[in-house]
Structure 1
Amino acid sequence: MTDYLTLLYPWTKALHIMSVITWMAGLFYLPRLFVYHTERSVPGDSRDEVFQIMEHKLLRYIMNPSMIATWLFGLMLLLTPGIVDWASVWPYSKMAGVLVMTWFHHWLGLRRKEFVRGQNTRTGRQHRMMNEVPTLAMVVIVLSVVLKF
C-alpha cells in the first residue's frame, strides 16, 4: 500500500492542491453571497430565492465535494512514507488550520439554513468579518507547509 502511495505522490499532491483551491474559492465566495443576500433582499422576495439557489448550489455541488476531496487527498499525503516529519510543528499547525476551515465550512452551512428559514439575524458587516476566517486559516496552512517550522 505504501509503495502505491509513493508512486501516486505527484498525482495526489496535484489533486490535493486543486481541491484546496476550489474549496477556498467557495469559502471566500459564500460569505460574500451572504453579505449581498442580507443587504439586498428580504425573506420571500425574488432576490431571496435567487440567492438561496446560488448558495445551495455553491455549497452542495462545489464546496462539499471539494472539501471531501481535500480531506481525502490530504490523508493520502499523510500516509505517504517520507512526506510528513511528525517531529516538526508544521503538521500540527497545518492540521489546526484545516480543522478551522472545516469548522467554518459547517458554520456556513448552518447560516445558509437560517436564510432558508428566513431567520438570518446577522448583518452584512458580520458576514464580512467572518469572511476573514478562511484567510487566516490559509495563512497558517501555507506558512506551515512552505516554511516547515
Structure 2
Amino acid sequence: MLWVKSFHILFVASWFAGLFYLPRIFVNLAMVPPESVAERQRLLLMARKLMRFMTILAVPALVLGLWLWLGYGIGKGPGNGWMHAKLTIVVLLLGYHHACGVMLRRFEAGINRRSHVWYRWFNEAPVVMMLVAVVLVVVKPF
C-alpha cells in the first residue's frame, strides 16, 4: 500500500505542476502580438505537449487513488468526511483540466477573447484547490 500511495502522490504532484504551468503559457499566448506568428506557434506547441503530458499523468494518479480508496478502503467508514471533500476537489480539478483543454483549442483556433490578466487569475485556482486538498488529507478535519 505504501508503494501505491507513493506513486499516487508522485503522479498527483506532477499533474499539479502542469496545472500550474499551462495557464502561465496561456498568459503569454494572450500577450503575443498578432504579427508574432513564430512566437505564437512555439507557445502553442509547448501548451499542446504540456496538456498531453498532464493528461498522461492524471490517469495513473486517478487509478492509484481509486485503488487506495476502493481496494484498501482508505477514507471509507464513519469519520472520513475529509475523503468526500477531497473527492469534490478532485472533480473540480478534473473540470479545471478540461477547461484548460477547451482554452487551448480556442487558442489554436485563434478565437481567444480573454486578456492576460484573466489568465493570471485563472492560474490561481489550482493553487487554492491544492492547499485545500493538502489540508484535507493531512489534517483530516472532519
Q: What is the TM-score when the length of structure 2 is the normalising length?
A: 0.93
The amino acid of 2:60's aligned partner reads A
Structure 1: segments with no counterpart, 5+ residues: 1-8
Q: State the SS of the aligned residue for 2:111.
A: coil
Runs in 1 of length 4+ with deviation above 6 angstroms?
none
1:123 corresponds to: 115
Q: State the SS of the aligned residue for 2:30.
A: helix
Among 83, 86, 94, the alignment partner of 2:77 is 86
Structure 2: segments with no counterpart, 5+ residues: none
Q: State the SS of the aligned residue for 1:42.
A: coil
Matches within 5 A, 1:37-48: 37-42=29-34, 45-48=37-40
Contact 1:32 1:128 in 2 (8 A): yes
Q: What is the alpha-carbon distance in structure 2 between the residues aligned to residue 119 and residue 91 of structure 1?
A: 39
Contact 1:31 1:130 in 2 (8 A): yes
Alpha-carbon deviation of 1:42? 2.6
Contact 2:69 2:76 in 1 (8 A): no
2:126 corresponds to: 134
CA-based RMSD: 1.4
Among 64, 68, 84, the alignment partner of 1:73 is 64
Q: What is the TM-score when the length of structure 1 is the normalising length?
A: 0.89
Q: What is the alpha-carbon distance in structure 2 between the residues aligned to residue 14 and residue 85 of structure 1?
A: 20
Number of aligned pairs?
A: 140
Q: What is the alpha-carbon distance in structure 2 between the residues aligned to residue 28 and residue 107 of structure 1?
A: 13
